[in-house]
Each structure stands twice: as C-alpha cells, then as structure tokens.
C-alpha cells in the first residue's frame, strides 16, 4: 500500500502505512546509551537508531535557503545547496553522484518538488560585485533539469532571452542573484522578476513568457517573486505597488494563460510592500507575509476569498521565521498544510536560563480558528515534519535530558505519542535547521547550518 505525503510542499511516497499505534515519550538516550523504550503495548515505528549520518562541513553551511533543497528518488536522498547537488543511497548513505554548478558558478534556486525522478534548479556565474568592493554577485541566468537517479543534466535553458533580463541590462542593472521555479505538470515555470516564463519539461524549449504585468494601484510594473505547483496549474506571486503590494495569480502552466488573479491590499498584507512575502502552499493557497505585521493569508478557490491568520491570536504567537539563514532568499517555513488545516508552531518561550518551550498548533484555515495546541514538554520545542493521512509527524528538537524524538499526533485533536525511542544528543538543534523527507521506514533530515550534521537517516 502506498501513501502520498506532503513534506515541506513536496509529495513523497511512503511504502509503509502507519499501523495506528503511538508510544509514550521516551526518557532520553543517545547513540552510545540505550534510550527508554516506547510503550511495550504498542509496536514502535522507529528504533531510535541512526542508519547513517554525514558530518557537516563549511561547504554545507552556506545559509542560502533559496538554493537549499532535498528530494527522495530512485532509492537516493538528494541534497542541494548553492555549491552543488549530492546524492546518497537512502539505505547506506554512501555517495552515488555529485553535480557541481555549471561553469564554476553557483546554484541560485531549487524547485521544491521533484517529478518523475527529476528536479529543476537555477544557476549562474560568479563575478565581482559592481556595488560593494570585495564582494561577489551571482548572475542567476539559467535553469537546468536534473535526472535524480544519475545526476545527469537533461537540458538547460537560458534566462537571458527574457524581457526581465534585457530590461535590467538596458538600465545598467545586474541580473537577479536568485529565482523561484517549479515543475508544474509538463512544464517548468520560472518567476523571474518582470517575467514569468514557461519551459517544456521534455526538452526545455521556451513555450511562453508573460511580461509587463501591471499593478492594480498605480499601474506600475509587477515583479514575479515565487511559484508553486497546484493540481490545476501554477500559483504565482508578484510584488506590485504600495496600494496593492501583492498579486496572486493562477496560471495555466502549459500556455501561460491567466486563470485568475487576486490583488491584496496593503491592509491585508500588513505593510505597503510585497518584499518577504512567500507562498507556503498552493492547495489551498497560503501565503506568509513576514515583515511589517506578520501574518498568514489564505485564499479560497480561484482567489475569491481572503482569510487572515495574524501572527498573534488565540493560539499564541506563531514562529514565522524561515529555515536557515535566508536573508532575502525564498523562505521555507515550519508549516504544513492539508485540506482545511494548517499545522505550525508557536515562538519559543524561555522557561529558564537554559531551556525554552513551544507548542504545535493546528488552525482551521477558512475560519482562522485554533483547532488544538499541543506541547511536548515544559522544556521542549517541536518542529512539524510531515502530514501522513490523518496524522502529523512532529520532531522534538531535543535537550541533553530529553534528546530529539519524533511523535505522531492526530490531526483531529493533537493526541498521540512518540514513534519510538529518542535519538542521539548529537542531533540536538538539527530539526530546527532542517528540511525533512519521510520514506519507507526512515525519516531523513538535511540541514544547511547545523554545526555537526548535514544529512542523517533515522530508523
């Protein structure tokens, strides 16, 4: 039996369904010391043991979230960052292939979703900054489709033939240093400043380009900033004018034809700029506006209804920080969406000089109401990992006394318990900096800024 699971916006196939049980929390433990076991009356899903781990290096801690991603495909765990893409056997952790950025450059964008064993990345050359002496700039001017089984680049496409690139160069401006892109059906869609561009997934041929999209307020040009795949096409985000700083568009990925458009006012966004506003999910459409007065915005079908979930409400104050050292990179949030429900966490609350606590919360999206709140302990913090059928997997980030440990909670009421014993203390803090993949009988984490581990497989 196969299950489809949404993990940080991507669909992952599980080969092993949950048997319905949930153990009690373990008392702690490490790789060298046996942890307390889950309730003996329930078969543990995980063992508390690391199958394998990869030590972090300076290369793994670039902190560029816009080019940070991971996928499970062809029996491999694939990790991408600005410096390259590395694939390891999911079973053993042994390296299988490496792909450096073409022409000695850097990767400057990754598609969050893989499709049919392929993933799309953006890349560009490195040159001396024209603005700050001694600094470098990445000209993000190309995309490539990669076969995740072999690391082969199937095709590349040049973004320098877009209206956005030509307009910038005419004005003496540098090309963007990052971009957002996604595989959507049989197309690759790129949000590239004033241009939205569609490429054929089969051969990389350019199929369409949308240019000169105008804001609803002053009629000035909008800049496309983000894109995610939805079941019926692409959902795109654009930064526009001060009165209507954000436009959300539903687009036919094959033709570029607009299906719908919603313009959000400055009052709805919480500030008069679309900067630092990102797509969290595309079905339903959920946005995170993280500056000014932070909030999530939820759009109904075809963008016809907008619901606001403020950062602070009956659920407490939500943690809207993005994974890693993002700067102005494309944010990736500790938030999962399924149907009418959003699962996220509250900001950490300092308990004493050494410990903090937070809560996992579930919010009804159409009503913006709290469904339930669950703490994993008075001195524990937790991170949502994945939605699996009618449950959510969350990870206790861990302390010396209570090391990292995964839990399975019911989406209906937050009840549930540990999936098995706790893991090594070496993994403390890893969950907070990681992207997760859940596959077969293992939980995979990849981090961009953890000081000890860049990737780990947990049995």
pLDDT tens-digit profile of 438-447? 887 889 999 8
Q: What is the pLDDT of residues 146-192, one digit of tens each?
A: 999 999 999 999 999 999 999 999 999 999 999 999 999 999 999 99
**Res. 285: pLDDT tops 60:** yes
Mapping DSSP onto H, E and C, the string for the chain reads: CCEEEEECCEEEEECCCCCCCCECCCCCCCCCCCCCCCCCCCCCCCCCCEEEEEECCHHHCCCCHHHCEEEEECCEEEEEECCEEEEEECCCCCEEEEECCHHHCEEEEECCCCECCEEEEEEEEEEECCCCCCCEEEEEEEEEEEECCCCCEEEEEEHHHCHHHHHHHHCCCCCCCCCEEEEECCEEEEEEECEEEEEECCCCCEEEEEECCECCCCCCECEEEEEEEECCEEEEEEECCCCCCEEEEEECCCCCCEEEEEEECHHHHCCCCCCCEEEEEECCEEEEECCCCCEEEEECHHHCCEEEEECEECCEEECCCECCCCCCCCCCECCEEECCEEEEEECCEECCCCCEECCEEEEECCCCEEEEEECCCCCCCEEEEEEECCEEEEEECCCCCCCCEEEEEECCCCCEEECCCCCCHHHCCCHHHEEEEEECCEEEEEECCCCCEEEEEEC
> What per-residue confidence (pLDDT) applies to 449?
75
> What per-residue confidence (pLDDT) applies to 58?
64
pTM, rounded to two decimals: 0.88
Are 298 and 309 a contacting pair, CB within 8 Å? yes
| Ranges 65-79, 220-234, 310-324, most confident | 220-234
Model confidence band, residue 291 (pLDDT cutoffs 50, 70, 90): confident
> What per-residue confidence (pLDDT) applies to 325?
52
Q: What is the percentage of the chain residues whose pLDDT exceeds 70?
A: 87
Model confidence band, residue 122 (pLDDT cutoffs 50, 70, 90): very high
Higher pLDDT: 197 or 17? It is 197
> What per-residue confidence (pLDDT) applies to 329?
59
Mean pLDDT (whole number) for 117-132: 90
**Res. 416: pLDDT tops 50:** yes
Higher pLDDT: 379 or 42? It is 379
> What per-residue confidence (pLDDT) applies to 280?
94
Are 405 and 421 a contacting pair, CB within 8 Å? yes
CATH architecture type of domain 1-63+323-459: Beta Barrel (2.40)
As to burial, measured by CB atoms within 10 angstroms (0-12 exposed, 13-18 middle, 19+ buried), residue 212 is exposed
> What per-residue confidence (pLDDT) applies to 189?
98
Mean pLDDT (whole number) for 209-213: 93
Q: What is the pLDDT of residues 338-385, one digit of tens each?
A: 999 999 999 998 888 788 899 999 999 999 999 999 999 888 899 999
**Res. 215: pLDDT tops 60:** yes
Mean pLDDT over the full length of the chain: 86
Are 443 and 452 a contacting pair, CB within 8 Å? no
> What per-residue confidence (pLDDT) applies to 28?
27
Model confidence band, residue 276 (pLDDT cutoffs 50, 70, 90): confident
Cα(395)–Cα(363) distance, integer angstroms: 19
């Amino acid at each position: 039996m196969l299950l489809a699971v949404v993990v940080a916006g991507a669909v992952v196939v599980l080969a092993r369904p949950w048997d319905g049980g949930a153990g009690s929390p373990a008392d702690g433990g490490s790789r060298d010391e046996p942890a307390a076991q889950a309730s003996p009356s329930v078969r543990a899903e995980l063992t508390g043991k690391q199958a394998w781990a990869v030590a972090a290096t300076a290369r793994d801690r670039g902190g560029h979230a816009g080019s940070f991603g991971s996928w499970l495909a062809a029996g491999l765990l694939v990790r991408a960052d600005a410096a390259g893409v590395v694939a390891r056997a999911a079973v053993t952790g042994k390296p299988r292939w490496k792909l450096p950025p073409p022409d000695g450059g850097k990767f400057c964008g990754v598609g969050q979703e893989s499709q049919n064993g392929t993933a799309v990345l953006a890349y560009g050359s490195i040159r001396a900054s024209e603005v700050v002496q001694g600094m470098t700039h990445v000209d993000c001017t190309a995309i490539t489709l990669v076969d995740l089984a072999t690391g082969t680049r199937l095709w590349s496409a040049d973004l320098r033939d877009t209206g956005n690139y030509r307009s910038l160069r005419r004005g003496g401006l540098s090309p963007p240093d990052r971009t957002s892109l996604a595989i959507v059906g049989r197309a690759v869609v790129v949000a590239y400043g004033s241009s939205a561009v569609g490429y054929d997934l089969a051969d990389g041929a350019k199929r369409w380009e949308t240019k000169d999209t105008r804001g609803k307020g002053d009629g000035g040009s909008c800049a496309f900033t983000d894109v995610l795949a939805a079941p019926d096409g692409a959902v795109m985000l654009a930064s526009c004018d001060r009165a209507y700083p954000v436009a959300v568009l539903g687009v036919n990925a094959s033709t570029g034809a607009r299906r719908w458009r919603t313009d959000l006012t400055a009052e709805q966004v919480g500030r008069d700029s679309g900067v630092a506003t990102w797509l969290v999910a595309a079905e339903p459409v959920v946005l995170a506006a993280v500056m000014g007065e932070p909030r999530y915005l939820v759009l109904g079908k075809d963008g016809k209804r907008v619901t606001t979930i403020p950062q602070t409400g009956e659920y407490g104050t939500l943690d809207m920080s993005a994974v890693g050292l993002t700067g102005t990179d494309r944010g990736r949030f500790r938030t999962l969406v399924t149907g009418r429900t959003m699962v996220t966490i509250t900001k950490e609350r300092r308990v004493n000089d050494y410990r903090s606590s937070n809560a996992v919360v579930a919010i009804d999206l159409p009503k913006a109401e709290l469904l339930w709140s669950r703490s994993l302990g008075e001195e524990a913090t937790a991170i949502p990992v994945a939605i699996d059928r009618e449950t959510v997997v969350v990870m206790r980030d861990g302390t010396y006394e209570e090391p990292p440990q995964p839990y399975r909670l019911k989406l209906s009421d937050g009840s549930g318990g540990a999936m098995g014993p706790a893991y090594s203390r070496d993994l403390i803090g890893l969950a907070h900096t990681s992207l997760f993949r859940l596959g077969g009988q293992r939980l995979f984490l990849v981090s961009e800024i953890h000081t000890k581990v860049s990737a780990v497989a947990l049995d």
